[in-house]
Amino acid sequence: MAWIVLVVSGVLEAVWATALGRSEGFSRLGPSITFGVAIVLSMVGLAYAMRSLPVGTSYAVWVGIGAVLTVAYAMVTGDESISALKIVFLVAIVGGVVGLKLVH
pLDDT in tens, 38-64: 999 999 999 999 999 999 999 999 999
- DSSP 3-state of 52: coil
Average pLDDT over residues 9-32: 97
Query: Terminus-to-terminus CA distance in the chain, angstroms?
Result: 14
For 56, the domain range is: 2-103
Predicted TM-score (pTM) of this structure: 0.91
Q: What total number of domains does the chain contain?
A: 1
Average pLDDT over residues 12-31: 97
The 8-class DSSP code of residue 82 comes to: -
Does the pLDDT at position 100 exceed 90?
A: no
Give the CA-trace dihedral at 53, 59, 65, 70, to 10 degrees: 150
Task: Provide the phi-psi class of 25: left if phi over 0, else alpha when psi is between -120 and 50, else beta.
Answer: left
pLDDT score at 62: 96
Mean pLDDT of the chain: 96
